[in-house]
């Protein structure tokens, strides 16, 4: 059972990055207006009877396509909890029904222009400290590898992300994501899940592609495959977890229609399932008792 996509990913650091991205977009738009007149024309050459404002050319910048700009409130609106401890499932906000924006990278870019990866095993202490690992987790910290790799964003650009995985499967994970790069499959963000995110109240709008998360299977006392670094969740919002009335992330109901072919969705015999099947991993979207469309794991559980 999947646990990599934690409801309410509201880490301060993540919200700050999102806020910074929105502010940057606004600043670019604000700087796009025309300044002085044509070259060689002084302000005095403007007819006195014509207000300066009437000489400004109207803005021709097209409005951004739906779903390409993250809403300002992303990750900030806490949902009330239900009796089962999850957030209240609500209709998908209009801004997220065709979600296809990419958030700022959490790590510096890897050199080069195509696919690239770097693996450090064991993972550096600084990376472990900002992860969910703690004494008592079912995997030794020395068995975790820090993998940085490139991916294609929904903006079509080259991005760099990071994952914590079991060192035994690090090469398989890199191989799978190399295949996704070649297929042009888009990812919104990819970073190490923090303890603050895991324990934060639910906002229902997270979409981080991640691997290691030290926590139990939902509703059980046994650890999930994520707690061993042996599972990856890809684009959780476009590929929600569904068990009866439970939908996680809680605002992702627009993606329960799996006949949709929206960017970032995982389908049977699509590029994601093929890439991970090639390294022997199974897909939670093929489960019978529930569906975990974001979940890929070495064991198939």
Task: Tell me the per-residue pLDDT of 31-50, one tens digit each, with 9 for 90 and over.
Answer: 443 333 333 333 344 444 44
Residue 56 has pLDDT above 80, yes or no: no
* Residue 30 pLDDT > 70: no
pLDDT digits (tens, 9 = 90+) for 69-103: 999 999 999 999 999 889 999 999 999 999 999 99
**Mean pLDDT throughout 152-173?**
98
Rounded average pLDDT over 166-172 = 98
Tell me what pLDDT residue 216 has. 73
**In 10 A of CB 179, how many CB atoms?**
18
Stated pTM of the model: 0.80
Exposure string of 243-273, with b = 16+ CB inside 10 Å and e = fewer, is beebbbbbbbbbbeeeeeeeebbbbeeebbb
pLDDT at 57: 60
- Structure confidence at residue 105 (pLDDT): 98
- How high is the pLDDT of residue 235? 98
Chain segment 258-294, per-residue pLDDT in tens: 999 999 999 999 999 999 999 999 999 999 989 999 9
C-alpha–C-alpha distance, residues 218 and 224, integer Å: 8
Indicate the average pLDDT of the chain: 86
In the prediction, which pLDDT does 55 show?
Answer: 57
Query: What pLDDT is attached to residue 287?
Result: 97
For the cut 90, the answer to whether the pLDDT of residue 8 exceeds it is no
Question: What pLDDT is attached to residue 54?
Answer: 52
Indicate if the pLDDT at residue 194 is higher than 90: yes
pLDDT score for 242 = 97
């Amino acid at each position: 059972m999947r646990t990599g996509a934690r409801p309410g990913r509201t880490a301060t650091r993540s919200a700050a990055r999102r806020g910074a991205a929105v502010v940057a977009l606004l600043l670019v738009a604000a700087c796009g207006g025309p300044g002085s007149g044509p070259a060689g024309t002084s302000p005095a050459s403007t007819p006195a009877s014509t207000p300066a404002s009437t000489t400004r050319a109207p803005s021709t910048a097209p409005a951004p396509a739906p779903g390409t700009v993250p809403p300002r409130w992303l990750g900030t609106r806490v949902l009330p909890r239900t009796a089962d401890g999850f957030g209240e499932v609500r209709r998908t906000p209009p801004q997220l029904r065709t979600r296809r924006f990419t958030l700022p990278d959490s790590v510096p870019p890897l050199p080069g222009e195509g696919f690239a990866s770097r693996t450090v095993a064991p993972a550096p202490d600084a990376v472990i400290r900002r992860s969910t690992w703690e004494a008592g987790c079912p995997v030794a910290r020395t068995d975790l590898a820090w993998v940085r790799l490139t991916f294609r964003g929904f903006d079509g650009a080259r991005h760099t992300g990071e994952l914590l995985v079991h060192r035994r499967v690090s090469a398989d994970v890199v191989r799978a994501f190399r295949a996704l790069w070649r297929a042009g499959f888009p990812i919104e963000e990819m970073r190490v899940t923090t303890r603050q995110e895991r324990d934060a109240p639910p906002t229902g709008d997270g979409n981080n592609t991640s691997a290691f998360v030290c926590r139990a299977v939902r509703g059980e006392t046994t650890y999930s495959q994520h707690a061993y670094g042996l599972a990856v969740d890809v684009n959780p919002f476009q590929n929600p977890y569904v068990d009866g009335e439970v939908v996680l992330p809680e605002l992702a109901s627009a993606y329960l229609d799996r006949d949709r072919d929206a960017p970032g969705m995982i389908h049977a015999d699509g590029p994601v399932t093929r890439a991970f099947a090639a390294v022997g991993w199974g897909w939670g979207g093929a489960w019978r008792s529930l569906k975990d469309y974001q979940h890929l794991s070495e064991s198939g559980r």
